[in-house]
């Protein structure tokens, strides 16, 4: 894994970083005179954990937030931004035969990626795989939308998505792609073992080569007549079907 400094902005993102990963928060900037109870709570928690806190002007916050709505809070953060492809075998081994991997094939909207990461973290996903090219990366906007989840689930950036899908298969992972034209239902799958769920981008869904590397294609039944769901909604549905099946009893 590699680390890099980056500013994160927004009350949820900063609060999550301070609470869950204080060792990687280098400093917290809060708007001078801000009386928002949550901003005050961030200051107290940061100081309690030994993090430098500075009260600064709104203009200073605007400068580090990079156009994001900072809500009076920003933090300089040095965390593991991504895992490498070679980390995948170890992550799968640690899952003990119950790996749950989310693969996103070309998601472009940072808000969608952030929402997907939040669902993945909530579902206890083993890893999330995204392409290095032609897809949004883990930006400050993604971090804010994920409400801290971008730092709690391993994100692997794949140079070649088809190759990493083949590697997953060799490691004993069954790969299922979600597609609107699939005849098999998601709810007919056994998702209790090592499973990867693959979802496509907002515009075109799964690319042809990605589809060809799946063990099967499945759809989410939609009796209301719509052809597809937003990728972040579909991600939540698919992940939590796996979670449901893995519950004891």
Return the CATH number of 83-245, one of 3.40.1280.10, 1.10.287.130, 3.40.50.620, 3.30.428.10. Answer: 3.40.1280.10
pLDDT (0 to 100) of residue 140: 67
pLDDT (0 to 100) of residue 235: 97
Evaluate whether 61 touches 69 at the Cβ level (below 8 Å): no
Q: Which residues make up the CATH 3.30.1330.30 domain(s) of the chain?
A: 2-81
Q: Is the pLDDT of residue 2 over 60?
A: no
Answer with the residue of higher pLDDT: 128 or 226: 128
Q: Please give the mean pLDDT across all residues of the chain.
A: 91
User: Does the domain spanning 2-81 belong to CATH 3.30.1330.30?
Assistant: yes
Q: Is the pLDDT of residue 245 over 60?
A: yes
pLDDT (0 to 100) of residue 80: 54
Pairing of strands 25-31, 73-82: antiparallel
**46 Cβ contact list (under 8 Å, min separation 6):** 18, 22, 25, 28, 53
Confidence of residue 82 (pLDDT cuts 50, 70, 90): low
What pLDDT digit, counting tens, does each position of 120-170 carry? 999 999 999 999 998 988 876 787 788 778 878 999 999 999 999 999 999
Tokens 């070649």 correspond to 160
What pLDDT digit, counting tens, does each position of 178-222 carry? 998 899 999 999 999 999 999 999 888 899 999 999 999 999 998
Average pLDDT (68-89) is 84
Evaluate whether 156 touches 85 at the Cβ level (below 8 Å): yes
- Retrieve residue 131's tokens: 């392409």
């Amino acid at each position: 894994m590699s680390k890099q400094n980056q500013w994160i902005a927004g009350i949820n993102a900063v609060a999550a970083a301070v609470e869950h990963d204080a060792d990687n928060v280098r400093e917290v900037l809060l708007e001078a005179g801000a009386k928002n109870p949550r901003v005050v709570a961030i200051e107290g928690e940061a100081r309690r954990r030994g993090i430098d806190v500075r009260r600064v002007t709104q203009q200073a916050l605007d400068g580090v937030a990079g156009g994001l709505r900072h809500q009076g809070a920003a933090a300089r953060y040095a965390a593991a931004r991504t895992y490498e492809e070679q980390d995948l075998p170890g992550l799968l081994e640690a899952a003990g035969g119950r790996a749950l991997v989310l693969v996103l094939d070309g998601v472009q909207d940072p808000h969608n990626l952030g929402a997907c990461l939040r669902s993945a973290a909530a579902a206890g996903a083993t890893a999330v795989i995204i392409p290095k090219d032609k897809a949004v990366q883990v930006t400050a906007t993604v971090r804010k939308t994920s409400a801290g989840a971008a730092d709690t689930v391993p994100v692997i950036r794949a140079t070649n998505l088809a190759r990493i899908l083949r590697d997953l298969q060799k490691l004993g992972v069954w790969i299922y792609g979600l597609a609107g034209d699939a005849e098999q239902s998601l709810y007919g799958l056994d998702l209790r073992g090592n499973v990867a769920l693959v979802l496509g981008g907002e515009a075109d869904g799964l690319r042809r080569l990605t589809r060809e590397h799946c063990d099967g294609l499945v759809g989410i039944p939609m009796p209301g007549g719509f052809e597809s769901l937003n990728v972040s909604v579909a991600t939540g549905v698919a992940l939590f079907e796996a979670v449901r099946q893995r519950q004891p009893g």
